[in-house]
Amino acid sequence: MCLPQGAGVSATQQMGLFQRPAANFVRYHDYEPVLLKQESWSGWKARSGLRLAPTDPDHEQLKSSLIRMASVNGPRELARLRSVTNQLLTGDVDGALVAAENFEVATHYRFWGRGGRQRQFPTVRDSLARIAQNPALLADAAEVLEWAAEESRVSPMTTALPFACPLELHARYGSLDISAALGLATLDRSGQTGVGVLHAPVLNAYAMLITFQKTEREFSPSTMYADYPISRELFHWESQSNTSQASPTGQNIIRHQQRGYTILLFARDVKQRNGATVPFTYLGPADVERYESERPIKVVYRLRHPIPAEMFETNRRGG
């Protein structure tokens, strides 16, 4: 068995490394947890000869949850997921449901990454009960979440919004997590994917999903929008290329305060890194400072919370 390319250690050293907890392994060898995209933690141990291959019934379907768990950095969500995982490890499905608090659907998506209809789960309890049948995966998740909690530098802060929302400021979320938080993803359906603007009409809210560094391979010419931070408080954003100022969407955006709409910004440096999809950082609510043009509309937003300094320096124009 070999570690990912470039490991540069002997087979004996490999076995010693894999005997460490996942957190120690990642730190010792200075790996990003992207190695979990290739294999689960228990799967790596099996390849090293330290244990038998995991026999969880849903190992292949659930192992991708580990890379999602590794990206979680919101303290409240980390505590919630660790509690859910620990309850499921003991077989206490009802206890896990309680531990999920009011975020059962979001918890389902962190594990499965898809709607419950594909797995024929009538309820979230059925989803959690099935996860409980996968002890090796759950043990992996517990170790990965422990590492993520130790690595998190995010303060446990939610933003003042006119509706209940579990999103934590400057925490990381995939598009499905954002959809679940805004009530757009249900247990049955994951909702819209692959779009840069999510509309939550029940909440009167828009979520703008922004990738700063776009490539022609990943984005079509019509979606190469000029999105960038002007300062840590001001943010330049362009609407979808067919949006006019007079359209319902255009009016909801440029007159969002008069219409009672909330604009939430989410951003990431790049779409993919090391073959793994990069989650978005929640930047919080923003207000229109000024706008011009149409198809696309060019908007300058004022963030209510400054963008993280590192993200600003990496992605500002001329930076």
Q: Are residues 142 and 255 in the same domain?
A: no
Cα separation, 14 vs 23, whole angstroms? 15
Q: Are residues 111 and 184 in the same domain?
A: no
Bridge-based pairing of strands 262-268 and 205-211 is parallel
Q: Which residue has the tokens 């590492």?
A: 147
Q: Are residues 137 and 181 in the same domain?
A: no
Cα separation, 192 vs 188, whole angstroms? 13
The pLDDT assigned to 240 comes to 87
The pLDDT assigned to 319 comes to 46
73 phi and psi angles, rounded to 5 deg: -135, 5
Residue predicted with more confidence, 208 or 217: 208
Q: Are residues 135 and 246 in the same domain?
A: no
- The two structure tokens encoding residue 18: 């894999």
pLDDT in tens, 150-201: 889 998 888 999 999 999 999 999 999 999 999 999 998 887 776 789 999 9
pLDDT at 262 over 70: yes
pLDDT in tens, 103-157: 999 999 999 988 887 778 999 999 999 999 999 999 989 988 998 898 899 988 8
Model confidence band, residue 29 (pLDDT cutoffs 50, 70, 90): very low
Q: Are residues 81 and 190 in the same domain?
A: no
Which residue segment(s) compose the domain that 67 sits in?
A: 11-151
Which of 3-7, 64-68, 115-119, 236-240 has the lowest average pLDDT?
Answer: 3-7
Model confidence band, residue 27 (pLDDT cutoffs 50, 70, 90): low
The pLDDT assigned to 221 comes to 47
**CB distance 128 to 96 below 8 Å:** yes
Do the domain assignments include residue 297?
A: yes
Q: What is the mean pLDDT of the chain?
A: 84
The pLDDT assigned to 173 comes to 95
Give the residue from 212, 211, 207, 209 showing the smallest Cα distance to 253: 207
Q: Are residues 133 and 177 in the same domain?
A: no
Provide the sign of the torsion angle of the four alpha carbons 137, 140, 144, 149, taken in this order. Answer: positive
235 phi and psi angles, rounded to 5 deg: -140, 125
Domain boundary residue among 90, 119, 151? 151
Distances (CA, A) of 273 to 35, 132, 226: 12, 31, 21
Q: Are residues 187 and 117 in the same domain?
A: no
Residue predicted with more confidence, 227 or 224: 227
Do the domain assignments include residue 230?
A: yes
> CB burial class (10 A; 0-12, 13-18, 19+) of residue 289?
middle
- The residues near 26 (Cβ < 8 Å, ≥ 6 apart) are 32, 33, 147
Q: Are residues 222 and 145 in the same domain?
A: no
**CB distance 316 to 230 below 8 Å:** yes
pLDDT above 70 coverage of the chain, percent: 81
- The two structure tokens encoding residue 83: 């509690």
Model confidence band, residue 5 (pLDDT cutoffs 50, 70, 90): very low
* Count of domains observed in the chain: 2
The pTM score is 0.85
CATH number of the domain encompassing residue 264: 2.30.280
41 phi and psi angles, rounded to 5 deg: -60, -45
- The residues near 305 (Cβ < 8 Å, ≥ 6 apart) are 159, 169, 170, 283, 284
Bridge-based pairing of strands 262-268 and 280-292 is antiparallel
Cα separation, 27 vs 17, whole angstroms? 11
pLDDT in tens, 79-108: 999 999 999 999 999 999 999 998 999 999
- The residues near 235 (Cβ < 8 Å, ≥ 6 apart) are 227, 228, 229, 265, 283, 286, 300, 301, 302, 303, 307
The pLDDT assigned to 28 comes to 45
pLDDT at 19 over 60: no
Do the domain assignments include residue 176?
A: yes
The pLDDT assigned to 104 comes to 93
pLDDT at 223 over 90: no
